[in-house]
Amino acid sequence: MIFLLRRLAFYLAALLVAITLNFFIPRLMPGDPSARIIASFQGRLNESQVQAIRQSYGLTGSLWEQYLTYLGSVARLDFGISTVQFPEPTASLLFYGAGWTLVLVGIAIFFAFIIGSLMGIHAAWHRGSFFDSVFTPINVILNAFTPAIVALLLFYAFSLELKWFPLGRAHDPNLMPGWYPEFILSVLYHATLPVLSIFLVSFGGWHLGMRNVMINLLNEDFVVLARAKGLSDQRVRYRYVARNAILPQITALALSIGFLLGGALVTEQVFNYPGLGKFTFTAIQSRDYSFIQGQLLLLTMSVLVANLVSDIANVILDPRLRR
């Protein structure tokens, strides 16, 4: 329990760091986020209106006051007003996009972790065999490809040339969103290629990670003892080796979520998928600062939550942490 509380304290501290960075970076740069909006009104605003706009961007008062106001608004999940879709609040855009991104990343991670880990277990158990000498390098090299490129290649091959998959969007625009089979199938159909791109670049990492952890474990005394005891291969493989190997892998999973989310951003751009990434892209092009800052905070919070979940999983699975 103490372990979990310390982790929670750390995550809150990390979140504070992210918020503070978010606060200071725009203020360190030349220029002013609100200047654009004000300029777009081309001088038809009076002084109090300009002040009101500046206030909504948190640019009035002393630095400390601004900081506190910012903290307060983040706590209320008020990420400001979007400049692109003025005056839509950024938060609603963020959450809409985040939902779709979650579908993508969630499915991709699920398959990548499970399939990659199983392949890694197999490669470690039969190390030096054909499977290991061939698939391990291939999977790892795949892992080194940037998601952007894999997405582009898949898009080119399957959407453009072969026309097996749609050119974009999250679902058939003719269907109304809802929880019925047709819609869900459409969502899955549209998500296939983006999920595949993310899957291809990440499962190799799990393969290699699991394989290396297991190879180190295979040399441990307790595994040799398990073999010496004459236990079945099945039992040794799962109850002794994999059960221990999963612990560092879960931690690694949590740490990699940040990276995977980044990769998803680019993939969505290629597939015109209405997730966080696509909105971020438009936000970048139109310099919608509040959205960009908002996505950092939202993603940071997601990563921290994922880490907390993995810590909880570790406590459940590792009796040594339960003191």
Partner 1 sequence: MSELTQSSPLALGAQPDTGAALAPTQLELMRELGVKPRPGWTSRLSPGLAAFVTNGKGMAGVVILLILVLTSLCAPLLTDFDPKRRAGKPHVEPGYEHVLGTTRMGKDVFTQLVYGGRVSLAVGFGAGIAAAMIGLAIGISAGYFGGRVDDILSFFVNVVLVLPGLPLIIVIATMVEEASPLVIGLVLALTGWGWAARTIRTQTLSLRTREFVLSAELMGEKKWRIILVEIFPNMLSFVMGGFVLGTIAAILAEAALEFIGLGDPNAVTWGTMLFWAQNNLALQSGAWWEIWPPCIAIMLTGAALVLVNFAVDEITNPQLRASRRIGGIRRFLNRRGRSADVF
Partner 2 sequence: MSSSPVSRPLMEVRGLTVDYVGETSVARAVNGIDFDIREGEAFGLAGESGCGKSTVAFALARLTRLPGLVSGGSVRFGGEEVLSFGKARLKAYRWREVSFVFQSAMNALNPVIPVSEQIMDVIETHEPRLGEKGARARAVEMFELVGIPPARLDDYPHQFSGGMRQRICIAIALALKPRLIIMDEPTTALDVVVQRDIIEQIVELKAQLGFSVLFITHDLGLMIEFCDRIGVMYSGELVEVAPASSILTNPQHPYTKALGNSFPPLTGPRQRLEGIAGSPPDLRMLPKGCRFAPRCPHAMQVCADTAPELRFYPAQQSEAACHLLN
Binding site for partner 1 (CB under 8 A): 10-11, 13-14, 17-18, 21-22, 25-26, 28-29, 31, 127-129, 132, 137, 140-141, 143-149, 152-153, 155-156, 160, 212, 215-216, 218-219, 224, 227, 255, 257-259, 261-263, 265-266, 269-270, 280-281, 284-285, 287, 289, 292-293, 295-296, 299-300, 303-304, 307
Could you tell me how many residues of this chain bind partner 2 (CB under 8 A)?
23
Q: Is 40 in the site for partner 2 (CB under 8 A)?
A: no
Residue 222 Cβ vs partner 2, minimum distance, rounded to whole Å: 5
Q: Is 220 in the site for partner 2 (CB under 8 A)?
A: yes
313 is in the binding site of which of partner 1, partner 2, none (Cβ under 5 to 8 A by kind)? none
First to last CA, the chain: 8
Residue 227 Cβ vs partner 1, minimum distance, rounded to whole Å: 5
Per residue, what are the HEC states of 111-179?
Answer: HHHHHHHHHHHHHHHCCCCHHHHHHHHHHHHHHCCCHHHHHHHHHHHHHHHCCCCCCCCCCCCCCCCCC
244 is in the binding site of which of partner 1, partner 2, none (Cβ under 5 to 8 A by kind)? partner 2
CA 25 – CA 33 distance, rounded (Å): 11
Which of 103, 100, 97, 111 is CA-nearest to residue 196?
111
Contact string (CB under 8 A) for partner 2, positions 245-264, x = contact: --x-----------------
Q: Is 226 in the site for partner 2 (CB under 8 A)?
A: yes
Residue 111 Cβ vs partner 1, minimum distance, rounded to whole Å: 21
Question: Look-up: residue for tokens 């003191």?
Answer: 323
CA 47 – CA 40 distance, rounded (Å): 15
189-216 in b/e burial notation, b at 16+ Cβ within 10 A?
ebbbbbbbbbbbbbbbbbbbbbbbbbbe
